Chain A
Amino acid sequence: MTGTAGPALSTAGPQSVWFRLRWPLVAALGVVFLILFRGTLPDWAITPPELWTTNLPLPFLIFSDAFFPALTIKGSSVADWFNGIVSVLREHEIFGLFTFRDVTRGIAGLIVWPLNFSEDLLISGFSDWEIPPIPWVVTTALAGILGWYLRGWGLGLLASSCIAYCAVFGKWELAMTTLSLVLVTAPIAILIGLVLGILALKWRQFERALWPILNLMQSLPHFGYLIPIVVFVGLGHKAGAIATILFALPPMAKITILGLRGVAEEVLEAGVMAGCTRRQMLWRVRIPAARPTLMVGVNQVIMQCLAMVVISAFIGARGLGIDLLFRLQTLQLGRALESGIAIVLMAIALDRLSQALSEKEPVHRQDGPFWSVHPYLTAAGLAAAAGILLAYLVPEAGQLPREMTVTLAPQWDLIIRGVVSALYEPLSFIREYLPPYVLIPIRTFFEQLPWTVFLGAAGLCGWVLGGWRLAALVGTYIGFIVLSGWWTEAMVTTYLVFVAVVICTIFGFPVGVWASRRDRRTRVVAFLCDTFQTFPSFIYLIPVVMLFQVGTISQIMAIVVYASIPVIRYTYVGLRAVPHSMVEAAVSSGCTPSQILWKVRMPLAFPEIMLGVNQTIMFGLFMVMIAGFIGGNFDLAREIFKAKAQNDAGLGLLLALCVAFLGLTADRLISAWASRRKAQLGLA
């Protein structure tokens, strides 16, 4: 490794100050140029002229002529065009029998069955047969036994205390509704992801078509799913379930493809030599051998499901999310916090349980009586029997009556008020100085930035980093936004995310560096990152609203809290992953620790850190949309909330695509840069 590092490092070229600063210099010159000569640009080159955005561009027409001959467009903007397609899907009858919407509603109708079943089981009981729901003591005990089985008594304790919290604090129904949504949607999302992955393995063509779609789906903000779902399924609980399934399946599909392709060549050969048919190869060799990777996907799907289930409250999914949303909107912060804690606990429990499941290695069984061969099953059976008996004798063990539950909301409110007033002074400089000296200038810059310059700069970066293909791709993304008619709003969103990402980096980078310096720090920070990462993004609104009320600062701070995690994580992971041989070489040539950090580790880890920034941008774009309803800016988030209120699916979809394309632009450019740089450094 050391041998290749020497020459590779020096490909950075002459180490003169000017050469190192070439890109910042180019950027600075560009800005100066803009300020001086912006006035000389024609108007059409500054903001996209109305004529363009209100007249449907030709490519859209060609596309719809080819695929939607029945399309009639009421109006002439891109949003109208999207609405045209939506209404075709909604009203045009296939074979004169049913519309696409009938199909989606029919499918959505099917989800009601498992949903009802799990809710009956956990909450309301089967009234037709007069069977009561599972007593809460039994649910709590079973969660504990599951954790005990998967990893040990520690996890068991954690799992049952999370469940018990919900019961004791009167969140039982809400929590169980949320849990049942996750329990129903996650397996479906996993199944669909698996099937897509298997099909992709079978047909290369299908895989080629699937990847870009999955990438797009993963960069669509949550509302990009919610609004179309409202049109095609309706408002309510099951719509939330469908949105959740769609939202959570892309990572599973991707991981399935990677996992199935990643099975060791020798294991596959062993399967062939055993005389497996193609089908046996898939089901008895490939899939079981890929299990560890697939289980990582399962964990991700479960966490995505929980996050989306909470956010689906916006379209009427019941559960903890809607409670939280309501309390936040009415500023009942103590109650909001109590619901938030329930969500957080559920996230932690689900994450740790599914992680333990994925790490569980098979262990051989000793012969013996049933209870010694299957101790956990036996314990579960006994606990269930004892709990049911107990609930029969003491009704409170079955369902905790409301007057026996506890609430700490008044106390929380007191604490919150104390914290807020204690922090009011220290934080006032943010409120006072941030807007006039930082936010407004940056916003003005982005608002006034001519779209031609933005497009040109992005295209140029694309061309330098990945040739004309990348330039064309990035150009298409931005061109789409230009023509969509929402350029200014998109720039406001860009400004919000930009400010937030800069703050995230200023804050997260040093934390990451600090954490990388000692094993213990790394462990602690890694634990915190892992934990915070599992929380649904919605949760982060609570502290932000507490401290900054509503407004632009809140919206930015919500992004900062949520999106700092990737920068921190990628920084310490990148710094620690520098090959040991290179560090040893530096030590033996007499570098001080800080020289090793800045001259060896940092340059080598920098591409990885930039990937962290990339993740932060994606997280930021997601959060900027969710936090839109506390922000009050004229950005894409505000428009998407309006579109939702008006049930304007075409517009909602269009706006969501604008967000996705902003994210994809950043993602493509940064990943291209990072992989090129890694190759230069001989790390790839």
Chain B
Amino acid sequence: MAEPVILCRGLWKIYGSEPAKFLARHDSNPSPEQFEQSGHIGAVQDVNLDVQPGEILVIMGLSGSGKSTIVRCLSRLIEPTHGQVIFQGTDLLKATEKEMIEIRRHKMGMVFQNFALLPHRTVIDNVAFPLEVQGVDRAQRHERALEIIELVGLKGREKYYPRELSGGQQQRVGIARSLAVEPDVWFLDEPFSALDPLIRREMQDEFLRLQNLLHKTIIFITHDFDETVRLADRIAIMYEGRIVQLGTAEELVTKPATDYVRAFTRDIPKAKLLTVASVMGPANGARGDGPAVTDDQRIGDVAGLVIGQDKPVTVVNGSGNVVGSLTRQQVVDALFADRS
């Protein structure tokens, strides 16, 4: 595995009257009761995380579970109470204010839930804002801004003010702004939550298209399952400030670490998620003359075929070798097991 872009170890963020002392007093591991008693809130608790270059890491969890707080600690918008954040090999929490400004100017981009556009600036000036504060001259930054505006599909609206745009268009501006400096890491905090479902889907397609072009390292927050399944390479599930499991969607569904994860992932649309490989049984004999499926197909795509067969269906891998078999019962279990 390559060197992680972001590595965080034992990260805590506690709100309250004296967070650091509180943490030290309880040996860096206070219990929920102790939090309750002292009136402190453990927004992020003992989080360990590594983000690989080029991956989309989705952080999921209920409202108030600490998702926003984590990304704000990783970008140091919030000062963590305790712990370590290594960003591309440098210790982020030891960086001076000046170094932080440099890192944010060149290496990080962030998209916000409510767009956070500057209302008094036109689209082009909003997008060019990060360049402007760096001192890039007007012609150059407008040229770059125009490029990105075209990339996110807002060409022709450069001179509009945010107020004159729809929600989806405003978020395109937010995305363009965060990409203006070609950041290495891209944070998105529920970027599509404020949009209605149709627009949301359109924006997800747009996002995937952009990612195929740009290959950024992405930390994406959402509490929408469909969104997660469509976008995620890996998923971190948060519960009361802690990451309870980190893995691919398939791992979460097939091997949930706790009951919470099991309950939480129950509603994930499995048909689109599980591959044949994760459900199939061992191969029983050589390939017959019946129909066959490949092991990397999604269950949802083969279910109709398998359920229509009386006998197990043969599973082959990419090079045509038989690797297993799939029964009608296995498919039904995989799709509906948790419902019963």
Q: A residues near B, CB below 8 A?
A: 264, 266-267, 269-270, 272-277, 280, 284-285, 288-289, 291, 361-365
Which of A269, A275, A285, A365 contacts B118, CB < 8 Å? A285
Report the minimum CB–CB distance from B248 to chain A (whole Å). 29
Contacts of B115 in A (CB 8 A): 266
A291-B120 contact in complex given A264-B114, A363-B161, C-beta closer than 8 Å: yes
- Inter-chain pairs besides A273-B109, A275-B133, 7 sampled, C-beta below 8 Å: A270-B116, A270-B177, A273-B77, A276-B101, A288-B119, A364-B122, A364-B164
Contacts of B106 in A (CB 8 A): 275
Q: Are A361 and B161 in contact (CB under 8 A)?
A: yes
Q: Are A274 and B130 in contact (CB under 8 A)?
A: yes
In the complex, the chain A residue whose C-beta lies closest to that of B160 is A364
A288-B133 contact in complex given A269-B77, A272-B104, A362-B161, C-beta closer than 8 Å: no
Q: Are A275 and B134 in contact (CB under 8 A)?
A: yes
Q: Are A266 and B112 in contact (CB under 8 A)?
A: yes
CA distance A364 to B124 in the complex (A): 11
A270-B112 contact in complex given A275-B134, A285-B118, C-beta closer than 8 Å: yes
CA distance A170 to B64 in the complex (A): 68
In the complex, the chain A residue whose C-beta lies closest to that of B187 is A273
A-B residue pairs in contact (CB < 8 Å), sample of 22: A264-B114, A266-B112, A266-B116, A267-B117, A269-B77, A269-B112, A270-B112, A273-B77, A273-B108, A273-B130, A274-B105, A275-B101, A275-B106, A276-B101, A276-B133, A285-B118, A288-B119, A288-B120, A361-B161, A363-B161, A364-B160, A365-B159
In the complex, the chain B residue whose C-beta lies closest to that of A267 is B116
Q: Does B72 contact A (CB under 8 A)?
A: yes
Closest 6 CB pairs of A and B: A275-B105, A266-B116, A274-B130, A270-B116, A364-B159, A275-B104
Q: Does B51 contact A (CB under 8 A)?
A: no
Contacts of A267 in B (CB 8 A): 116-118
CA distance A273 to B106 in the complex (A): 10
A363-B164 contact in complex given A266-B112, A273-B77, A273-B110, C-beta closer than 8 Å: yes
Contacts of B193 in A (CB 8 A): none
Contacts of B121 in A (CB 8 A): 288
Report the minimum CB–CB distance from A50 to chain B (whole Å). 53
Contact string against A for B residues 207-251, beta-carbon threshold 8 Å, 1 for contact and 0 otherwise: 000000000000000000000000000000000000000000000
Q: Does B163 contact A (CB under 8 A)?
A: yes
CA distance A270 to B177 in the complex (A): 10
In the complex, the chain B residue whose C-beta lies closest to that of A285 is B118
Contacts of A269 in B (CB 8 A): 72, 77, 110, 112, 116
Contacts of B120 in A (CB 8 A): 288-289, 291, 362
Q: Does B75 contact A (CB under 8 A)?
A: yes
Q: Does B28 contact A (CB under 8 A)?
A: no
Contacts of B164 in A (CB 8 A): 363-364
Which of B118, B130, B160, B177 contacts A288, CB < 8 Å? B118
Q: Does B129 contact A (CB under 8 A)?
A: yes
Contacts of B132 in A (CB 8 A): 284
Q: Are A270 and B110 in contact (CB under 8 A)?
A: yes
In the complex, the chain A residue whose C-beta lies closest to that of B183 is A273
Most buried by B among A264, A276, A277: A276
A274-B113 contact in complex given A269-B77, A364-B159, A364-B161, C-beta closer than 8 Å: no
In the complex, the chain B residue whose C-beta lies closest to that of A291 is B120
CA distance A299 to B110 in the complex (A): 36
Q: Does B91 contact A (CB under 8 A)?
A: no
CA distance A280 to B106 in the complex (A): 17
In the complex, the chain B residue whose C-beta lies closest to that of A292 is B119
Report the minimum CB–CB distance from A284 to chain B (whole Å). 7
Q: Are B163 and A361 in contact (CB under 8 A)?
A: yes
CA distance A277 to B101 in the complex (A): 7
Report the minimum CB–CB distance from B163 to chain A (whole Å). 6
Q: Are A266 and B114 in contact (CB under 8 A)?
A: yes
Q: Are B161 and A289 in contact (CB under 8 A)?
A: no
Contacts of B301 in A (CB 8 A): none
In the complex, the chain A residue whose C-beta lies closest to that of B78 is A269
Contacts of A365 in B (CB 8 A): 159
Interface residues in B164-201 (C-beta closer than 8 Å to A): 164, 177-178, 181
Contacts of B130 in A (CB 8 A): 273-275
Contacts of B77 in A (CB 8 A): 269, 272-273
In the complex, the chain A residue whose C-beta lies closest to that of B109 is A273
CA distance A289 to B121 in the complex (A): 10
Q: Does B205 contact A (CB under 8 A)?
A: no
Q: Does B147 contact A (CB under 8 A)?
A: no
Contacts of B134 in A (CB 8 A): 275
